[in-house]
Structure 1
């Protein structure tokens, strides 16, 4: 199972300025039954004996940077598997109103909490359920927000885990509209202590523990690594797509009689992995080509984000995504090919030219060895040869986000750069570099190596020639 977090603990900043929804006392709501708590802990942590440091790493709420109103911060190692996907959707909602809309030039100035509430609602809607459950704070939600969250250890280590899990309380909702109203009335519900973990538990209980276990290849493997406290890939996939599948390839693959589930549609935000650059994993088309130009970047130990303000960077791939879906309908075993006799059916469903003479000519072209098979890659190359060629090698703005706070007083900020996607016949050194960017071309950083799993000839010039960290 591929880890998506596991960062070293860092010093936390002063978060005493974070507002809490202190007007509501949640003690009157239902406790979660003990057997449900046990099942929840087993699914998320595997054991009731949770390492104290690991649980404490997940004790923060959703908190914004003092320097970027729309940038969430990560106080300790561990919860990037939740924070980064939520941040990706938050950016989508701050920047775009639809896949074809232009970027809002004021996206960095928006009210982060307001956008975050819309983001929460969208992530619950991805679960494809009709009833929802929220895990609420116990008593005064502000109690640990300005106090214990900035400490490096719990005030009472012996009761830390016990008190949290024994005091879990829930409220249920029978519609998305009811959920929306409650979140609107309590805008900082997940900003107080343990807000990130309570949000994760809310997603799980809304989808149900059983359905999460059905998604997993091995339900005995927890969503959070028991040894190191980082989130595993199914956890990140749950937030991105609504399903806690283990893999990041497209659809289903069969190995030795096992059907291993992957991603089944183009989500709003994507995912690229440094481990694919190392040939350890395979990220499929759906995650590489999301609806918006926003990608999670997975290193060996952390999740960060890279995003652009040009929707055409991915909207040009929508037709190819449709072609892939249709092709797979006729690829009965998910083997990456179809019988030549099914080519006309594929063309018909895609509303492409399908006269008999043309179909016969295309069959001969795509099946040169007369095997009676047409590979999906050959089919896509025939009809979509220029999908990954963008903007005629002209530079465009990209931003990198890393929410993990470092030692010192440097706040979390978006890091700006100018990216160039080169066509095959363009020399790597012949690009138009803006004069104010210096001459430091980033052509081999971890960020660029992630991006090259999608854009093989991409380069970035970062502001001040400072390459941001992916870890």
Structure 2
């Protein structure tokens, strides 16, 4: 394990600082990000978020915690079984998984030099007999850094580990460093250092800082890095050609998913890799905050049926969500589905599906022709659970999971209700969904 700080690492840390914060760090934003990973006393498997901003880190970590708890317990029974040991195991397992997605090379763990200098001086004064005094001394040192981002960055140091097993051991032995004042920031710096500063810059295709200089929100590149290990700017599948530019999205099906209300507003297109993750857990984005949605219904992430695949492919040629495509795209859709796509056949089908020569082909007409017996892998009813880490955004003023019963309606007509942003964002994933939330209280996305 290396603890030296050569000039190259100094430059790396300076580069990470500039990439995250830009040229100027606002003290109030820095303070909002200066928190540790700590669990709620009312919902013991839930991380709490003190202020707006660090949800770009906390929500993905929480999503991985849910994913692993559901794998182990199969249902929501873990809520009543969480102990301090389970909390620690879940937290370490989640951060290790995120780090592991970023690199398979060396792992760099960023820490504060003041932790160690204060610890040593306190040990010397007390003969190593008063742990509380040592911890109080360290906390005083941390508190002095909260309003001083310049000194915070001067105190940053790195450990280098050759493998994830060593990182895991380190975090278990130093779990309080994740929970303490700067746990979220130090983990974020560790993720970028392990990924590699230049690699993050290359993947993001953006000159903007990863933390918004005005409002303190994490960028989409930062969210993608935390969820998938790649700091791409976009959320569609693979690459898309936009005006001759190849813009990179999500590379493959992710462990956990992502849906956003910004898709409803047509500011982005979320691809199938994010909407259909490996596990039934989704980070959910409003325009200002990230929360998490999950379910114990594994069939929500079952392999697509042929008809579901057909609907997804058809809609990929219908980015505006109009439920129709231009008739000249029919051949491309048939090709993408490995159906007959010779020009003569396509012309026959185009005339049949667009008999009035309007220049469009309706989704329903296409499905009735090629997939008349639609099959669904998703059940008609299932349980959804929503988490919001901000205490003030929960009805009781305390972090608490909100449970709802979801129903997928038969009709293709969805009820649009802009006063219900939760339903709006869920419909970007399940267009015909309705949810009955416990006690008729719709959870907040903000």
For Structure 1 versus Structure 2, the TM-score category normalised by the shorter chain is: 0.7 to 0.9
> What is the TM-score of this pair, normalised by structure 1?
0.74
Equivalent residue for 1:254, pick from 241, 244, 262? 241
Q: Do the aligned partners of residues 319 and 117 (structure 1) sit closer, same or farther apart at CA in structure 2, a change above 3 Å counting?
A: farther
Q: Partners of 2:414 and 2:240 in 1: how far apart?
A: 38
Q: Partners of 2:177 and 2:223 in 1: how far apart?
A: 21
Q: Partners of 2:137 and 2:434 in 1: how far apart?
A: 44
Q: Do the aligned partners of residues 455 and 108 (structure 1) sit closer, same or farther apart at CA in structure 2, a change above 3 Å counting?
A: farther
Partner of 1:109: 81
Partner of 1:172: 160
Partner of 1:406: 392
Q: Partners of 2:418 and 2:146 in 1: how far apart?
A: 47
Alignment length, in residue pairs? 404
Residues 77 and 230 of structure 1 are in contact (CA less than 8 Å); yes or no, is this contact kept in structure 2?
yes
Q: Partners of 1:292 and 1:468 in 2: how far apart?
A: 22
Displaced runs of 4+ in structure 1, greater than 4 A? 140-149, 154-158, 318-327, 336-347, 356-369, 380-389, 425-428
Partner of 2:40: 65
Residues 235 and 244 of structure 1 are in contact (CA less than 8 Å); yes or no, is this contact kept in structure 2?
yes
> What is the TM-score of this pair, normalised by structure 2?
0.78
Partner of 1:40: 16
Q: Partners of 2:149 and 2:190 in 1: how far apart?
A: 18
Q: Partners of 1:182 and 1:316 in 2: how far apart?
A: 38
Q: Partners of 1:156 and 1:40 in 2: how far apart?
A: 18
Residues 44 and 79 of structure 2 are in contact (CA less than 8 Å); yes or no, is this contact kept in structure 1?
no
C-alpha displacement of 1:448 = 0.8
Q: Do the aligned partners of residues 254 and 358 (structure 1) sit closer, same or farther apart at CA in structure 2, a change above 3 Å counting?
A: closer
- Unpaired segments ≥5 residues, structure 1: 1-25, 328-335, 348-353, 370-374, 429-441
**Counterpart mapping for 1:231-310 below 5 A:** 231-310=218-297
Q: Do the aligned partners of residues 30 and 191 (structure 1) sit closer, same or farther apart at CA in structure 2, a change above 3 Å counting?
A: farther
Q: Do the aligned partners of residues 259 and 358 (structure 1) sit closer, same or farther apart at CA in structure 2, a change above 3 Å counting?
A: closer
Other structure's SS at 1:391 match: coil
Structure whose residues are more often helix by fraction: 2
**Counterpart mapping for 1:31-430 below 5 A:** 31=5, 33-47=9-23, 49-97=24-72, 102-103=74-75, 105-106=77-78, 109-110=81-82, 111-138=86-113, 139=115, 142=135, 155=144, 160-218=148-206, 220-317=207-304, 347=338, 365=349, 382=370, 386=374, 390-392=378-380, 394=381, 396-406=382-392, 410-424=397-411
Q: Partners of 1:195 and 1:457 in 2: how far apart?
A: 40
Q: Partners of 1:222 and 1:318 in 2: how far apart?
A: 41
Q: Do the aligned partners of residues 326 and 284 (structure 1) sit closer, same or farther apart at CA in structure 2, a change above 3 Å counting?
A: closer
Other structure's SS at 2:178 match: coil
Residues 343 and 359 of structure 1 are in contact (CA less than 8 Å); yes or no, is this contact kept in structure 2?
no
C-alpha displacement of 1:59 = 0.7
Q: Do the aligned partners of residues 35 and 446 (structure 1) sit closer, same or farther apart at CA in structure 2, a change above 3 Å counting?
A: same
Residues 84 and 305 of structure 1 are in contact (CA less than 8 Å); yes or no, is this contact kept in structure 2?
yes
Other structure's SS at 2:424 match: helix
Q: Do the aligned partners of residues 215 and 397 (structure 1) sit closer, same or farther apart at CA in structure 2, a change above 3 Å counting?
A: same
Residues 70 and 109 of structure 1 are in contact (CA less than 8 Å); yes or no, is this contact kept in structure 2?
no
Q: Do the aligned partners of residues 343 and 389 (structure 1) sit closer, same or farther apart at CA in structure 2, a change above 3 Å counting?
A: closer
Provide the alpha-carbon RMSD of the alignment: 4.1
C-alpha displacement of 1:453 = 0.8
- Of the structure 1 ranges 289-298 and 71-80, higher mean CA displacement relative to structure 2 is found in 289-298
Partner of 2:126: none
